[in-house]
Structure 1
């Protein structure tokens, strides 16, 4: 069972992830993430990020490249 502190940490990390992903999309395309991705897809990407070993910014750049290609 997750503690309140663990839930808060994950919630905070999710916000940081979404902000980083949005910044990458804005920098490359001029539009935020929800122009390109659904909220469900953003959540799936966050879950993939949690299982990865790369930084948030690296993961976000990879996501933008994958969506735009």
Structure 2
């Protein structure tokens, strides 16, 4: 199956929104951004997990921060 340019663009936008939301949540709870706690490989794994989950990005981000800080 061929992936269209628009699909790649939408996935890139979703990934950017996910990382920004996660970083904002980390800053709100710890004063530091996401990259203090997670490396890019971990972020990619979380993004893939988010795509297969039915939670909103905000809910998923809050849960991720709680899990990392525990």
* TM-score bracket, shorter-length normalisation: over 0.9
* TM-score of the pair, normalised by structure 2: 0.97
Distance 2:52 2:65 in 1: 18
Structure 1, unaligned runs of 5 or more:
none
What TM-score, normalized by structure 1, do the two folds share? Answer: 0.99
Matches within 5 A, 1:44-63: 44-63=45-64
Within a 5 Å distance, the mapping from 1:29-44 to structure 2 comes to 29-44=30-45
| Separation in 2, partners of 1:54, 1:35 | 24
Looking at structure 2, the residues matched to 68 and 7 of structure 1 have their Cα atoms a distance apart, in angstroms, of 32
- In the alignment, the residues of structure 2 paired with residue 30 and residue 16 of structure 1 have an alpha-carbon distance, to the nearest angstrom, of 19
Q: 2:8, 2:68 → 1: CA distance?
A: 29
Q: 1:41: Cα distance to partner?
A: 0.1
Residue 28 of structure 1 deviates from its aligned partner by 0.2
Moved over 3 A (4+): none
